[in-house]
Structures are given as C-alpha cells and as structure tokens.
Amino acid sequence: MINIKIKVLPVICFMAAIIYSCDEVFPEAPAENELLDGPIGALSFSEQNRFLAGDVAFNDEIFTPESGLGPMFVATSCGSCHPGDGKGHPFTTLTRFGQTSPGQSTDFPAGAPQLQNRAIPGFEPEKLTLGTPFMKFTPPAVTGLGLLAALTDEQILKNADPDDVDGDGISGIPNYIDPPDYFQPKWFHQAVNAQFIGRFGKKAAAIDLLQQTATAYNQDMGVTSTFEPLDVATDLSVDPEVSDQTIREVVFYLSTLKAPIQRDPETYNVIQGQQIFTDINCGSCHIPSWTTPESDIPALSNKTFHPYTDLLLHDMGPELDDGATEGSAETYEWRTPPLWGLGLSPDSQGGEFFLMHDGRAKSIEEAILMHGGEANDSRGSFEQLSDIDKQKLLTFLKSL
Amino acid sequence: MKTSSSIYKIGGYLLVLICLNHVAFAQKSDSFQLLLNMDAVYNRPFLQAGSFPVAIGGYIEAQGEYFVSDGITEGVSFKIPRMTLFVSSTITERIKFLSEIEFEEGTKEINIEFAALDFEFHPLLNFRGGIIMNPIGAFNQNHDGPRWEFVDRPISATTIIPATFSNVGFGLHGKTYQKQWVWAYEAYVTNGFNDRIVANSEGRTWLPATKENVDRFEENFNAVPLITLKTAIRHRKIGEIGLSWMGDVYNKYEEDGLMLDQKRRLDVLAIDFNTSAIKNLDITGEWVWAFVDVPATYSQQFGSQQQGGFIDFVYTVLKREMFGWENARINLALRLEHVDYNVGSFEETGGNIHDDVQAIVPALSFRPSSQTVIRANYRHIWETDLLGNPAAKTAGFQIGISSYF
C-alpha cells in the first residue's frame, strides 16, 4: 500500500502539470470581431446550406492537374489566395499586363491579361517579355463583398466627380467595363454605351461577383467553366472543369460573408483617430458608410455598413503608376480599397502587413505615405500631425 | 499558449517525474531483448489448432472522441479505425508465410498490408518476397494498435511516412547477435511512389497520396523501383537505434518512348530509437526527413523538404494483479509531436514557409495483459498554415480499446 502511494504522487503531479501547461482544455472560438470569415446574420436554413457549400468550394477544394488545375496557374485554390477570407500574401500576388491605356481592348500580347507564373509538372509557366509593363495585385480580403455588390450604380455615381467640379481636388471616376456575355444586369445596374460600372478588383475591372469569381477560377487556377470556357494555356475552349453550381455557390458565399466588425470602437484613441481621419480628408475617397437598398438576398437589404471606400477610381500619382491598366482606368488610377478589416490583415498575411495594391507597404503608415496624386493633400496633412495624433489615427485604422 | 514553451514545460515536468523514481536497468527477458522493430511483423500472438499448419490472429481498435477546433465541435464520435486479420504458416522448415489484411473504418478500405514468403538460408541471409512493409522508421513495421498507449497514430509516421506503407517487391534481411549486441539489416526493391505526392487535394507535398494509386500492387508507376534500406542495432540493456532510407523516382517521366518530364526523385531518411533502460519507463521515438524534387516552376506550397517526428514516454505507475488480471499495468504516457510539411522560405519575401503541426498528447492506459489495452488521452494540436497565420487549435479527449485476438 505504501508503495502505491509513492507512485501515485508523481502521477498527480504530472497530470496537474499537463493541465497547467495548457491555457485552455478546449480551444475557444476567437472573438467574432477578430475573425473575417463567417456569414452575415439572418440567413435562412437553405441559405446557410448554400453558404456552407460555397465555403467548402472556396476554402477546401484544392485543384489538382487531374481536377483541372492549370496547366498554367497562380494558385491551387481560392483559399490559398484569401486565407481565412482575408488579404493574401506576396506568395500569391497576381501579375496583370497587356493593357497599357484606358479603353484599349484589342491587340493584347499573348497570355494577357494575367500572368500564370506557375505550371504543373511537365509544363512551363508564362514569362513576361522584358520591358512589358505590368501590375502586381495582392489578393484582397473577400468579406462584406455582398454588401458592396448590393449597392446601386446611382449610389456610386453620387460620389463621382470626374472633372472635379466641386474643386476639392478629389475626382472619383467610375471604371466602365465591357460586360462578359454571361453578365445579367440587375435593376440597379446602369448601362453607359453598353458598359457597366466595375466595382471589384484593384482597378474596379469586375462588374459583379460572378464575373470576379469565374475569372478567378480561370485566370488564377487555370480552371475552365461554362462562363469562362477558354483554357489559359491554349486559348481554346475545353470541357468545363468546375460546375456552374459550384461557381454560383461560391458567389453566394462571397455575397453573404459578414462585414468585418470594428474592434474597440468606443475607446478614446479610436474615437479621436476617427476624427483625425475625417479632419485630414481621408474620408473623401474612403467613404465610411453606405446603406444597401432592397436585395434579392434579404440579409443584405437595407443594411448600413462601413467599408471606407467609394468604389471609384482616383489618380494616385506617378509613384503608383505601373504603366498597365484595366477597363477605362488610367494607368495611375486605382479604385479606393475598402479599409474594413485592415487591422486584421496580419492574421492572414503571415503576421505582417503587405498593403497597397501590390503589397509594397509594410505598415499602415508606410501605405499612407505612398499616397500621391489626389491624396497628396491628405498625405501632407498626415505628415504634419504630431506623433500622438498619428498614433491615434493608426489606432483607429487598426480597429477597422 | 505558445506551443514551444509548452513542450519545454512538459519536457521539464517529465524530467522531474523521472527523477522522482530511482533509475535502474530494467530486467527484461532474453527473448525480448533480442527483438527488434523489424521483428514486429512476426512477434504477434497467433492461434494454432493442433498440428494444423496455419495460424490465425489479428487485432482490433475502437475509439470514441470529442474534439473542439477553435470553439467549434463536431460532437461525440465513435469509430473503428481498423480491424486486422493475420494468417501465418510455417510451410516447411525455414520457409514461412504471413499475411495481414486490414479493414479500415468498417469496410471503407480493405488493404493487404503484408503478404510475404520468407526463406531463411542463414540467420544473416533471408529472402523475402510479396507485399512487404517498407522498413522506413520504426512505426511502419511496428504499427499494431495494441502496442501503443495512444489512441491515434503519430502524425509524422502517417503523413510523412505514409504508414502503413507496403509495396510489392523482394529483398533480403538478416540478424546476428554478439554478446550484448544485436544487429540487423533489411534491403528491398519494390514498386514505389507516384506523382500524386505533389498533385493531391491536400495542397501540400503529401506522401500518403501515393496510396490512392489503386494499381500500385499491379505495376510500378514508372520504370524505377523504390529501394528501401534499414539497419538497426540493439544493446540488450540500453535499447535500439535504427537508421533507414528509401529512395525512388516518383514521376512518370517517360511513356511510350516519349520523354514527358525529367526524372524527379524522392528520398526519405529516418532515425528511430527505443529504450527501456530506465526502470518502468519506455521511450520510443522516430524522426524523419523527406526530400522531394518539386519542379521549381510548381507552387511553393508543395514543399521540397519535410521533417517531423514524435517521442513517446510510457511510464508504468502500477503493475500487479488488478481485478483478477495478473500482471495488469497502469501506464502514464506522453507523446510530443512536431511535423513541418514545408521546410524552406518564400521566394517573394524570404520569410519562413510554415505549414507545420505540433501536438501534445498526455495519456493514461490500463493493460489487463500485454496484448490488450484500454487507453484514454487528451490531445492538443496546433496547426499553422503555409503563411504562418495564427495557429488553428484543436483539442479533445479520446478513449479507445485495442487488443490482439
């Protein structure tokens, strides 16, 4: 009996030590405002089923040569570019090339508009000819896209001021895009010369989420569909490698991902930082709030949300002129990127910031200082701020 | 919790635990001391009726578990990971046959894991042919459920080494003894890997994907056989250490006389050890490196180098008659695991490519006899994605039974 007691003691010590070593026996879910993924509220059962199917296709389905990958590609799955539905990493940065002036829609070089810089074994990837102008695009976060897609063209055009009539130095130009043949305008789309306003992408070159999704399958993964039937390697039509249903489920998933939730919005520095954001005129382009009209997805109807974008193109100055473009955008014009979820970017970018269209900025401050063109005045105002006020502004931006 | 600091903490506690007990050389039977990992395939209980030339046996595993992943649970789940049947026969003196047929998760998979004839010309020269378990690491050959104190198999032994990994082929093995020492070798030529290891739905270099090729017991994927070599040495009072390697060309570089690609190699190197030198404490470990020639123009998510391993500490806290079972044992065990599926850095940033997994598994087991175990463990796993984003955390409890029959 004595012998047993001696041996039980280390057992108890050992088990206690193990329990002490683990902070939590069962890992708790991260706070809702710390995560980008998850559905927008109030989805019906059938909508949740569609959301789940889209989630699996987006995050879990990895393409292989057998299932349609490539032969030339950039990434093997949607989720590898948008981990956790957040921003991507330079590892999956896209290279776009071919169009060098607004409205140019013919005589693109072979392989344009996107470089497939990887290839399955036995094949060679594309290479850019020396001297070809190109743009690199870091994959954006995909949350809240349904809310942006639900806005009307009329709402977007209210902020447009192509000729700077109001003289505030901020223009705001819609990027009018030739729609793909599968595009079906909704009641809120307004055609101008058979073109429609682009909303998605660094240059606002995609009109809706279906175009964005079908193009991404094709150009990013080399996967054909009935929407985008041409093989990226041969430019010839091949059998669809992803079904219409899967693409539509992914579109539904992207449409119903929740908007990022701001963290600590009531704290003093965040409130002060938000005021500074307004004072130095960042909000002229990064428009804080929008309200959706009625939507065919009830959960998206009449929702006020805070993306901090106007979905319009702005002159960002010669430093950000890559010499290539899309649609009717000038080479120096970029769509105002939404700022929501900005503070969570490192959680999907491997612990670092890779900001601006190509990830060249390694911090929010660096990104602000890279703003030129129409944002010159705001950048100058930022530079004039005291260190304390700069920190307040950065605290606010990180709270988004 | 920081994974690495936790592992250091656990290691520290383990050392304290060991120090609480006096250290002495274990006294094991001579026959046990002569056995190596390579003998595991025949070192199993069989039932033989009279002079009937065929013996049969097998083992079963069943388990229940409850896991939570970052706050989300699938609830309680039960499964039967595998039931295995052995059939062995001594055909004539020094000619033996053994087969192992495994039913995984009901009848989801039915595999012949081993079916080979052994011809003993000399203890140092045995010829083996059939479906052979490639002797890479220790776990692949010594994988029977009742031998282990943990409900799940080690991660590295099933995802870098795709245990149970067996192929059709031939080879030699032998063993010799010298005073306190036992030395053995194995050398086989078999069918090998295929290009699914870098073209799979896991999205990473994944050696287990090679088993998706249903033709692998029928023909080699390419013209190059897989060579597997292992040597092991045991000191009867200290323990065993093994060193093993297998190498192959994994891709189909030629078909109908046409060159489709250059030859791309796969090499796997493993070191394994086990010791019972400290009284009441068994330590078993294995570490493996895989080197894969992944085309430079393919995605970096398919790593060209992988590494990982595990170390098990099994401490017998009580050994006596319990509930009428003589020599029943209660063991306390701990497994520490680490796997890095992609050793390297990103071309674009120079930053480390992660894609790694770490796990801590404290366990408690009750053995009514050496052939049967009731075991329970807690398992905490940290999985970090390719980019090194915050780790996904999964933890839960498992309870299982396993026994030879």
Q: Which of A20, A27, A77 sits opposite B70 (nearest CB)?
A: A27
Q: Is residue A127 part of a domain?
A: yes
* Separation in Å, CA of A69 to nearest CA in chain B: 9
CATH code for the domain of B73: 2.40.160.10
Residue A17 is predicted with a pLDDT of 64
B24 pLDDT exceeds 60?
no
* Separation in Å, CA of A58 to nearest CA in chain B: 13
Cβ contact, residue pair B318, A7, below 8 Å:
yes
**Of B147, B160, B100, residue with least CA distance to B286:** B160
Cβ contact, residue pair B378, A351, below 8 Å:
no
Please answer whether residues A347 and A84 qualify as being in contact, where contact means their C-beta atoms are separated by less than 8 angstroms.
yes
Buried b (16+ CB within 10 A) or exposed e, B330-355: bbbbbbbbbbbbbbeebeebebbbbb
Cβ contact, residue pair B21, A28, below 8 Å:
no
Percentage of residues of chain A with pLDDT beyond 90? 86
B389 pLDDT exceeds 70?
yes
A10 pLDDT exceeds 70?
no
Return the structure tokens found at A291.
Answer: 């309200």
Could you give the angle at the alpha carbon of A369 between the alpha carbons of A363 and A374, nearest 5°?
130
**Which helix (H) or strand (E) element contains residue B378?**
strand B372-384
Higher pLDDT, B106 or B92: B92
B201, B261, B264, B346, best to mutate vs chain A, most A CBs in 10 Å: B201
* Range from A43-47, A104-108, A115-119 carrying the lowest mean pLDDT: A104-108
Mean pLDDT for A306-321 is: 97
Cβ contact, residue pair B1, A13, below 8 Å:
no
Q: Which of B251, B318, B346 sits opposite A121 (nearest CB)?
A: B251
Q: Is residue A11 part of a domain?
A: no
Closest-CA residue of A relative to B6 is A21
Is the peptide bond prior to B225 cis by the omega test (within 30 degrees of 0)? Answer: no
Residue A27 is predicted with a pLDDT of 93
Alpha-carbon torsion angle A278, A281, A284, A285, nearest 10: -100
Using 50, 70 and 90 to split pLDDT, how confident is the model at B105? confident
Return the structure tokens found at B27.
Answer: 């006294």
* Separation in Å, CA of B17 to nearest CA in chain A: 6
Cβ contact, residue pair B297, A125, below 8 Å:
yes
A206 pLDDT exceeds 70?
yes
B282 pLDDT exceeds 90?
yes
**Which helix (H) or strand (E) element contains residue A53?**
helix A45-55
Closest-CA residue of B relative to A79 is B203
Q: Is residue A22 part of a domain?
A: no
B335 pLDDT exceeds 80?
yes
Residue B12 is predicted with a pLDDT of 53
A261 pLDDT exceeds 70?
yes
Q: Which of B71, B201, B378 sits opposite A62 (nearest CB)?
A: B201
Cβ contact, residue pair A22, B380, below 8 Å:
yes
By residue range, what is the domain housing residue B336?
3-404
| Mean pLDDT across chain B | 90
B318 pLDDT exceeds 90?
yes
B156-192 tens-digit pLDDT: 999 999 999 999 999 999 999 998 999 999 999 999 9
A9, A26, A74, best to mutate vs chain B, most B CBs in 10 Å: A26
B1 pLDDT exceeds 70?
no
Q: Which amino acid is at A115?
A: L
Cβ contact, residue pair A22, B17, below 8 Å:
no
Cβ contact, residue pair B346, A84, below 8 Å:
no
Place of tokens 């010159």: A376
By residue range, what is the domain housing residue A88?
32-399
Q: Which of A10, A83, A124 sits opposite B389 (nearest CB)?
A: A83
Higher pLDDT, B219 or A307: A307
B27 pLDDT exceeds 50?
no
B19 pLDDT exceeds 80?
no
Cβ contact, residue pair A7, B317, below 8 Å:
yes
Cα separation, A257 vs A79, whole angstroms: 14
Residue B15 is predicted with a pLDDT of 47
- The total domain count for chain B is 1
Number of residues written out for chain B: 405
DSSP-derived secondary structure for B107-144: TTEEEEEEEEEEEEEETTEEEEEEEEE---TTTTTS--
Q: Which of A13, A76, A80 sits opposite B17 (nearest CB)?
A: A13
- The total domain count for chain A is 1
B5 φ/ψ angles, rounded to the nearest 5 degrees:
-65, -35
Q: Is residue A223 part of a domain?
A: yes
Q: Is residue A10 part of a domain?
A: no
A112 pLDDT exceeds 60?
yes
Cβ contact, residue pair A83, B9, below 8 Å:
no
Cβ contact, residue pair B385, A77, below 8 Å:
no
A295 pLDDT exceeds 90?
yes
Cβ contact, residue pair A121, B261, below 8 Å:
yes
Using 50, 70 and 90 to split pLDDT, how confident is the model at B26? very low
A120, A345, A348, A358, best to mutate vs chain B, most B CBs in 10 Å: A120
Q: Is residue A104 part of a domain?
A: yes
B353, B389, B394, best to mutate vs chain A, most A CBs in 10 Å: B389
A398 pLDDT exceeds 70?
yes
Percentage of residues of chain B with pLDDT beyond 70? 91
DSSP-derived secondary structure for B65-87: EEEEETTEEEEEEEEEEEEEEEE
Is the peptide bond prior to B81 cis by the omega test (within 30 degrees of 0)? Answer: no
* Separation in Å, CA of B98 to nearest CA in chain A: 37
Q: Which of B295, B346, B395 sits opposite A26 (nearest CB)?
A: B395
Closest-CA residue of B relative to A120 is B298
Residue A174 is predicted with a pLDDT of 96
Using 50, 70 and 90 to split pLDDT, how confident is the model at B23? very low
B4 pLDDT exceeds 60?
no
Higher pLDDT, B17 or B194: B194
Percentage of residues of chain B with pLDDT beyond 90? 79
* Cα A147 off chain centre by: 13
Using 50, 70 and 90 to split pLDDT, how confident is the model at A104? confident
Cα separation, B233 vs B225, whole angstroms: 27
Task: Give pTM, 2 decimals.
Answer: 0.91
A111 φ/ψ angles, rounded to the nearest 5 degrees:
90, -20
